[in-house]
Amino acid sequence: MGQKILAAVVVLLLGALAYVTLFSEGQGKAPDITVTTLDGQQIALGKPGKPILVNFWATTCPGCIAEMPHLADMKRALGDRFILVAVAMAYDPIDQVKNFIRAHNYPFAFVHDSDGQIAQAFGGVSLTPTSFLIAPNGNIVYKKIGEVDFDLVRQRIEQMSPLQP
């Protein structure tokens, strides 16, 4: 009888852990910071009012460069339903970042994390690409080290920003 109770408790705990892992609505709150894009636009990340995908990248990162056209495709497809901010790492020389941006016509905002404070605010991001999807209420609902899972992120953005009739 004792083993059956122990087995039931273990199953219950594993089920609860699986539920929290798979269906949790948040992975913490986004840092309450405002970033300034290279165009001079200010974007508040802590409570944005619409989904924001923050993508940390570097010009020397092959995975980052490979996912940029896909990020652009998703931004074009979803338009104003979300904000996409590409944050160049502090170690990336600003001239190199600007040259990359000039060479491509990507439809999203670029920020240079010149002092590393943005990466620090997101828990010390050091690997690229690393992405965070922030819900309109400021909760982080997706975090990925490595290339973005575009189908999942697109689905989450669509859920958080339904089309208006």
Give pLDDT, residue 113.
98
Domain-embedded: residue 147: yes
What's the full length of the chain, in residues?
165
The angle formed by the CA atoms of residues 63, 84 and 151, to the nearest 5 degrees, is 65
Domain that holds residue 140: 26-160
Residue type, 6: L
- Average pLDDT of the residues in 89-115: 97
Give the burial class of 121: count Cβ atoms within 10 A of its Cβ; 0-12 exposed, 13-18 middle, 19 or more buried: middle
Domain count, the chain: 1
Domain-embedded: residue 148: yes
pLDDT category, 48, cuts 50, 70, 90?
Answer: confident
- The position carrying tokens 């996409």 is 84
Give pLDDT, residue 14.
39
Give pLDDT, residue 1.
61
- Average pLDDT of the residues in 66-82: 97
Residue 8 pLDDT exceeds 60: no
Domain-embedded: residue 6: no
Give pLDDT, residue 162.
80
pLDDT category, 12, cuts 50, 70, 90?
Answer: very low
Domain-embedded: residue 10: no
Higher pLDDT, 164 or 142: 142
